């Protein structure tokens, strides 16, 4: 089994990556392999709403990293989406990926059915629930099982590394990883 993590932050290896890696630690302890894609290194253009994907089942624009990331999403048994909160929502990088992935997946019903999905947000002050909810919408609209924890899947911190000081938030990330591993092992993905 494999879980793909997607870090929607413009900061490579910042707070959002730390959250995803905390979840990964528990998945790896359960024998589930992980891979992290960091959008800071990549360009993903927003969807052009051309619906050419309806004819061939994939996005026809290949000048960016979308197709490679989308293929990894399809191959994975589970997906962890992570975003910092920008203007009380997910980052523009995450939004572009999710909008484009949603349109392509809508053209191929059932593509993500019964995969496990978890969303995490690195938050300075507010907007964390809106960001997590936006990522959950992708999972729910594509028949995925949404994994929860003991509290909302957000951790507080401003500067890189600050999230590690939010002990309750980091405990929640570890519990989220354990819950995701439990679900995936029970489903026999």
**pLDDT tens profile 113-160:** 999 999 999 999 999 999 999 999 999 999 999 999 999 999 999 999
- How far, in Å, CA of 181 to CA of 189, rounded? 10
Domain residue spans of the chain: 2-187
Homologous superfamily of domain range 2-187:
Flavodoxin domain (3.40.50.360)
The pLDDT score that the predictor gives to residue 189 is: 53
The pLDDT score that the predictor gives to residue 179 is: 98
- How far, in Å, CA of 110 to CA of 158, rounded? 38
Cα separation values, 25 from 21, 33, 44, 97, 148, Å: 6, 10, 27, 25, 16
Question: What is the reported pTM?
Answer: 0.97
- Taking each continuous run of H as one helix and of E as one strand, the counts in the chain are 6, 6
The pLDDT score that the predictor gives to residue 56 is: 84
pLDDT mean across residues, the chain: 96
Among 158, 159, 137, CA closest to 146: 137
Q: Is residue 3 pLDDT above 90, yes or no?
A: yes
Q: Is residue 84 pLDDT above 70, yes or no?
A: yes
Encode pLDDT of 21-63 as tens digits: 999 999 999 999 999 999 999 999 999 999 999 998 899 998 9
59 within 8 A of 100, measured Cβ to Cβ: yes
76 within 8 A of 34, measured Cβ to Cβ: no
């Amino acid at each position: 089994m494999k879980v793909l993590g997607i870090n929607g932050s413009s900061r490579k290896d910042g707070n959002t990556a730390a959250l995803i890696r905390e979840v990964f630690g528990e998945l790896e302890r359960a024998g589930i392999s992980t891979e992290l894609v960091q959008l800071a290194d990549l360009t993903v253009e927003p969807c052009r709403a051309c619906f050419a994907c309806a004819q061939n089942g994939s996005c026809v624009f290949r000048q960016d990293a979308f197709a490679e990331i989308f293929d990894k999403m399809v191959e994975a048994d589970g997906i962890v989406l992570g975003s910092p909160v920008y203007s009380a929502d997910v980052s523009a990088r995450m939004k572009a990926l999710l909008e484009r992935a949603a349109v392509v997946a809508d053209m191929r019903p059932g593509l993500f059915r019964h995969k496990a999905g978890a969303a995490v947000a690195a938050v300075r002050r507010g907007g964390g629930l809106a960001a997590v909810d936006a990522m959950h919408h992708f999972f729910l609209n594509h028949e995925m099982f949404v994994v929860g924890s003991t509290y909302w899947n957000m951790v507080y911190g401003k500067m890189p590394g600050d999230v590690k000081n939010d002990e309750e938030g980091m405990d929640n990330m570890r519990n989220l990883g354990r819950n995701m591993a439990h679900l995936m092992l029970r489903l026999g993905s």
